[in-house]
Structure 1
Amino acid sequence: MEFNVINLFFNLLPALIVALVSVYFFSQYTKNEEGRRRFLLHKDNQKTALPLQLQAYERLTLLLERIAPSNLLLRVKPFSDDKDEYERLLLKTIEQEFEHNLTQQVYVTEECWNVIRTAKSATVSIIRKTSMNEKVTTSDKLRETILRDLMDHQTPSDAGLSYIKKEVAEII
C-alpha cells in the first residue's frame, strides 16, 4: 500500500509540473495579448485624438495671439477718449476670446491650460494696472503706455506660446 502511494506520487509529479508550467505560460500569454490589444486600441485612438489635440493647440495659439496686447490694441480701436470705456472694451474682448476657446482645455494638458489662463489673467492685469496710472488720461494714452511698457518685456502671450510649442514638440 505504501509502495503504491509513493509510486502514484512519482507518476503524477511530472503531470503536476507540466500543468503548473502550462498555467504559468497561459497566464503570461494572456497578459501579453491584453497588452497588445491595449496598444492597438491606444494606437487607433491616437489616429483620431492627435488631430483634435493639434487643432486645440492651434486654436489656443490663435487665442494667445489675439489677446497679446500689441495685437489686441491694434485690432480693438477706442470709440472715444474715455480710458475707462476703452479698458472695459479691451477686457470684454479678452473675455470673449477666452470663452470662445474654453472647450479646448479638454484636449490639452492641465498644465498647458493653466499657462493659458495665467497668460490671460496677466494680460488683464497689465491693462488694469496701466489704466489705474494717474498719468494715463485718455484711451490713446492707455494704448501708448501699454505698448511702450511691453517693448522691454516678454508678454504673457509670448510665454504661453513658448509653452505650447514645447508641448506640441513632445507629442509629435
Structure 2
Amino acid sequence: MEDKLIEGLAYALPALVTGGVAYFIFSGFLKQSENDKKFAALVEKKKESLPIKLQAYERMLLFCERLNPAKLLVRVKPISTEANDYLQLLLANIEQEFEHNMVQQIYISDTSWTTIIAAKAAIINKLKNVSENSKNAQELRENVLIEYSNTVPPTETAVEFIKSEVKKLL
C-alpha cells in the first residue's frame, strides 16, 4: 500500500511541478501582454494629444509676440492724445488677447503658463510706470520704445521658454 502511495506521489509530483511552472510562465506572459496593451494605448493617446499641445504652444507663442511692446504699439494706435486713454487701450488689448488664449493653459505645462503670466504682468507694469512720466499718447509710445530698446522684453524670455518646452515634446 505504501508502495502504491509512493509510486502515485512519484507520478504526481513532477506533474504538479510542471503545472506550477506552466502557471507562472503563462501568468507572466499575460501580465506582459497586458502591459504591452497599456503601453500601446498610452503611445496612441500621446500621439493624438501631441498636435493639440503643439497648437496650444503655438497660440501662446503668438500671444507673446503680440504682447511684445514694440509690436503692440505698432498694432494698437492711440485713439486720443491722452496718455492715460492710450494706456487703457493698450491694457484692454492685452487683456482681450489674454482672455482669448486663456484656455490654452490646459494643454501647456504649468511652468510655461507661469512664465507667460509673468511676462504679461511685467509688460503691464512697465507700461503703467512709463505712462506716469508721459504727457501724451505719442510720448508714451516713444518712452515705451526707448525703455525696451535698452532691455530685452519679458516676452522674449517667455518665447525662448516656450520653444524649449516644444523641443522637449518633440
Cα distance change on mapping 1:7 and 1:130 into 2, 3 Å: farther
> Is structure 2 residue 125 aligned with structure 1 residue 98?
no
Shift of 1:118: 1.4
Q: Which residue of 1 aligns with 2:142?
A: 144
Give the match's secondary structure for 1:101: helix
Q: Which amino acid aligns with 1:144?
A: E
Pairing of 1:11-90 with structure 2 (within 5 A) = 11-90=11-90
Deviations 1:102-160 (A, max 9, x none): 1111211121111111111111111112223xx32211111111111111212111011
Q: TM-score, normalised by structure 1?
A: 0.89
* Correspondent of 1:154 among 134, 142, 152: 152
Q: State the percentage of identical aligned residues.
A: 37
Q: Which residue of 2 aligns with 1:166?
A: 164
Cα distance change on mapping 1:149 and 1:20 into 2, 3 Å: same
- Separation in structure 2 between the aligned mates of residue 6 and residue 41 of structure 1, nearest angstrom: 52
Mark the runs of 5 or more structure 1 residues left unpaired by the alignment: none
Deviations 1:15-58 (A, max 9, x none): 22222222222222122112211222123223321111111111
Give the match's secondary structure for 1:151: helix
- Separation in structure 1 between the aligned mates of residue 6 and residue 134 of structure 2, nearest angstrom: 103
Shift of 1:72: 0.5
- Separation in structure 2 between the aligned mates of residue 88 and residue 124 of structure 1, nearest angstrom: 10
Mark the runs of 5 or more structure 2 residues left unpaired by the alignment: none
Moved more, 35-44 or 57-66: 35-44
Shift of 1:87: 1.0
Q: TM-score, normalised by structure 2?
A: 0.90
